Structure 1
Amino acid sequence: MSKTVKQPENFEAGYAELETLIAQLESGNLSLDAALAAYQRGQGLLQYCEGKLADAERQLKVLEGERLQPLNPDTGDVA
């Protein structure tokens, strides 16, 4: 049985949730199962946030003169 993993609304929401999970894990008050679930969710959030940052960095590198060109994150091409 596969579970659908809910993606954050945006980078900021993902980062905030990741910070919350880290605080919960660091508290040491979670059961083993809850800690493992939090760790797995945190890994997914980390990948999501890193991907969003990488997309933003690629877009910032796509400059033409003084104008920022939009980047299609799926293809990496300038739109």
Structure 2
Amino acid sequence: MSESTAAPEHLDFEAALTELERIVQALETGRLPLETALQRYQQGVALVRRCRQVLDEAEQRLLAIENGTLVPLDPPAER
């Protein structure tokens, strides 16, 4: 990975997504040697998994909020 040497499981969502976008752009050029393309593809898969994990965790947090403390706001009464 370029800017970030951290393993995908240590990246936040934005960093993982940015790196994934860079990998996709590199792969789309079709100019990478086969071995490099395979390595980048493998890195991309790990980053997709990380993004999915972070999104799943966020969804679980939102569901917990909805089931616990989230109360719909009533629109202000008209006078």
TM-score, structure 1 as length reference = 0.73
Structure 1 equivalent of residue 70 of structure 2: 66
Residue of structure 2 equivalent to 1:54: 56
Displacement, 1:59? Answer: 0.5
Match in the other structure for 1:20:
22
Overall identity of the aligned pairs, in %? 35
TM-score, normalization: structure 2?
A: 0.73
List alignment gaps of at least 5 residues for structure 1.
68-79
| Runs of 5+ unmatched residues, structure 2 | 1-5, 72-79
More helix per residue: 2
Paired residues in the alignment total 63
- Please provide the CA RMSD for this pair: 1.6
Say which structure is richer in strand.
Answer: 1
SS in 2 for 1:61: helix
User: Which residue, out of 37, 40, 45, partners 2:39?
Assistant: 37
